[in-house]
Amino acid sequence: MATEKTDVVIVGVGAAGGILAAELAKAGMKVIGLERGPRLKTEDFEPHDELRYFERQDLRPDPKLTPVTWRPNTKGHARPIPSQNNGNQAGGGTVHYGALSWRMHEDDFRVRTKTVERYGEKAIPADSSLVDWPVSYAEIEPFYERAEFDLGVSGKAGNLKGQKIQGGNVFESARQRDYPLPPLLMDQASILFHDATNKLGYHPFSSPHAILSQPYKDRPGCTYCGFCQAFGCHVAAKSSILVTKLPEADATGNFKLITGATCHRINTDNSGKAIGVSYYALDRSDNTIEADLVIISPFIYDNTRLLLLSKTAKFPNGLANSSGWVGKGLMAHIGGRGFAIFDDRFVNIYMGPNAQKLSIDDFNADNFDHSNLGFIRGAQISVGSPGLEAGPIDASLDMPPPPGTPNWGAPYRDFLSKYYARHLALTAQTENLPYPDQTIDLDPDWRDKWNLPAPRLTYDWRRPNELARLAFMTKKLQEIGEAMNAKVAWTGPHNQGQPGAHHEGGTRMGTDPKDSVVNKYGQSWDVPNLFVIGSSTFPTMGAGFNPTLTIQALAYLSADAIVNRYQKNPGQLL
């Protein structure tokens, strides 16, 4: 067993952990980062290989070695989910994600208050734990801006200091500066989507991406290669933590990254103070890092599992769990799916970045009147590719053929051969509400390669509010597809209750230690020198938006609080 000492240990060096590592190291703190996977280089992402990265998911955890299980309710036995969306390397999911970089709306941080004001208390499902966030848009806006400029995000403002700007997202909350880079180029799918939604009276705009539309900070602009979602960027145009913040941390001389490290316990003393972590190395040795400050920032499964694994006599239900809320409030985006095919044009959807090429925000969050609709909240609607990776394997696996066309045999072969380059996909990424009975706990039956219990998800999105919302949004997808004058427009089936993309919750933030795990800085109420950073702290989903930019803004917010307040006076941040 090896033991090292440091000021700060960070578990998980991805979207949040990489930012914290760089910012704390630049402030003079000695930082050790633990990462389960390897640290790759830009040249490692060539050649492009759809089988390796999309189908075999080379940049994601191996579900056979590190399973995550799912069951719809407590009556059944959980089984491993076939794939996981989080990352398995330094930089985390930012290495292979589609790089969507959304800001939440101002009202998304006050979702319960605004819903009650507009529709009354009864509009909120009685079994939902819908709450306001403890942080406001005004507090986090400077850190959104910092993330956009520090990392490199391409887009167009739709609300600049209160001035609405056509061509941007006119529903966004006010920003102080435009994006540092202009939007990515529009492709055929985006043009079709723009014209159709504009004709319908909606407000299309280029989705903001952490992908460089032109050279920025000594990195080249996007080559529009088509290998983006599920792939690492072969020219470093994707603004992953791997190519942005980790080099900054290295340059300080205060940062050390240990790869191949699986953290299995947060260590505490008799008073309950965190004193470091224990981890398994690739050689199967059990090692310890002693630290004054412990930050855990891997994906939500591992955040929650690590707290539950670290129970003590003082914390018999899991570390930092005096509230009983560790593991509660699991959320995920569920996507309605639409498709369109054309005889009079090639769409070539495989060209350029794959995910959410162009979007509308008209039916997201509370941007439209929900009176008498039978649901609250909404969805961000966009054009992209079937499974968010636009290769032929993706299309064959994730695009159901239109009604009347078999999904096997010669007719299906002929359909795919003709329409692979003539199709596009539409997505309605719905914001599902938090419910306390949607949980993450430790599976008693399934274990990982280290003999640690697997995280178990108990979750079923099929509730009245969510079903009504998805039905409404699916009709919008059909409407948009038909407005494109497609040969055929149709919608796809929904899954059977399992979580979709962008998992959130499990260690929610709040203002009261009785019903939350951490405060707005991610600081544990129970263990003040323990911080939990990432989407596990989200109390709600924050619209139908991908969570990464909000994760990153919160990481900058927490880093600022640690450097300028906690480091000078350790204790509870208020």
Active site residues: 502
Helix (H, G, I), strand (E, B) or coil at 540: coil
CB count in 10 Å sphere of residue 62? 15
Q: Which helix (H) or strand (E) holds 340?
A: strand 331-341
- Residue (of 5, 29, 56) closest to 559 by Cα position: 29
Q: Which helix (H) or strand (E) holds 298?
A: none
Degrees, nearest 5: CA angle 44-221-17: 60
- Residue (of 375, 396, 378) closest to 387 by Cα position: 396
Q: H/E/C letters for each residue in 503-552?
A: EECCCCECCCCCCCCECCCCEECCCCCEEECCHHHCCCCCCCCCCHHHHH
Please name the residue ranges forming H helices in 437-546: 464-483
29, two tokens = 């703190």
Helix (H, G, I), strand (E, B) or coil at 274: strand
Q: How far is Cα 281 from Cα 278, in angstroms, rounded to an integer?
A: 10
Instruction: Fill in the DSSP letter of residue 559.
Output: H
Cβ contact 453:432 at 8 Å: no
Residue showing tokens 């060096």: 13
Q: How far is Cα 516 from Cα 328, in angstroms, rounded to an integer?
A: 10
* Neighbouring residues of 14: CB distance < 8 A, sequence distance ≥ 6: 86, 87, 90, 91, 92, 93, 94, 241, 297, 298, 299
Residue 227 CA to chain centroid, in angstroms? 19
Name the burial class of residue 41, with classes exposed (0-12), middle (13-18) and buried (19+) by CB atoms within 10 angstroms of its CB.
exposed
Q: What is the DSSP string of 345-381?
A: ----TTSS--S--EEE-TTSTTSS--TTSS----EEE
Cβ contact 531:522 at 8 Å: yes
